[in-house]
Chains A and B, each alone.
Chain A
Amino acid sequence: MNQKPGKGSAYGWLLQRITGIFLAFFLILHFQVLHFTARWKIDFDLVTQRLESTGWVIFYLIFVPAGFFHAFNGAWQVIHDYRPKSRTQKAVKSLLWILGIALSAYGYYLIVTFTKGA
């Protein structure tokens, strides 16, 4: 195994669970609002109207990075189980961090777009 003992490896384990708990609440609310109580046809107005409230903006500001962290940290666990070489590990880890940060930034940009409306 390429991991040095005691060097940061448990943070991924812990954060996967903490983000998981957050996502459990967020995703239930997300489904509730968009699939169970919303009118059948979701459209741009429905989204922009909801994002007029600060509460929903804050919701998404946390939801987006928590989701990407969980998704890519989870993907890392799957890849790590194939025991890649130390150098490959570093490259994959960096790539996943870049992807996660870039997509979170993209998500924030989309939140801004929706708050501005049409």
Chain B
Amino acid sequence: MYQSKSGFFKKYVDEVGLNPNVGTWSWFLHRITGVILVLYLFMHFFVLGSSLAGGETFNKWLSTVQNPVFHFLEIGLAAVVAFHLLNGLRITITDFFLATKAHKAIFWIAMIIFLILMIITLVVFLPRIFSPH
């Protein structure tokens, strides 16, 4: 893909502006979600690392991250993972099966699956936000 040489963030604005199509948008979202997941992975391992101090410390950390606010954020995490996962499979299928012509169609199929997964996620997670435990 053509890469503009302008500033750190502006290059993404340029990219989408130059070619405002499904391929560019999905590329941009794939990158954002990928970077979010890398940052999340660091936090995830930080919390898991508390287990080195024993089960009790670990449980304390887990209680901190299992409250309504975090359950709400988890819906966002699920959305980020679901998008990156489905679009990643779309990229892989497009590349391996030389299906460039079908990439837009595959994208919309992926987005339908995305919507279904998000409905399931909401059904499971919303009760956790609104009822105490």
Contact = CB atoms under 8 A, between A and B. Distances in A.
Contacts of B31: 78
A17 interface: yes
B124 A36 contact: yes
Given A17-B95, A35-B124, 12 more contacts: A17-B96, A20-B88, A20-B92, A23-B85, A24-B88, A31-B81, A41-B62, A43-B59, A78-B34, A82-B8, A106-B45, A118-B54
A35 B91 CA distance: 27
Contact of A71 (B8, B37, B85): B37
A103 interface: yes
Interface in B70-99: 74, 78, 81, 85, 88-89, 91-92, 95-96
Interface in B101-133: 124-125, 128, 133
A91 interface: no
Interface of B is mostly: helix
Contacts of A107: 45
A21 interface: yes
Contacts of A20: 88-89, 92
A71 B81 CA distance: 13
B91 A24 contact: no
Given A40-B128, A118-B54, A75 B38 contact: yes
Contacts of A35: 74, 78, 124-125
B38 A106 contact: no
A47 B47 CA distance: 13
A94 interface: no
Closest 9 CB pairs between A and B? Answer: A44-B55, A118-B55, A17-B92, A20-B88, A71-B38, A44-B58, A74-B34, A43-B59, A40-B133
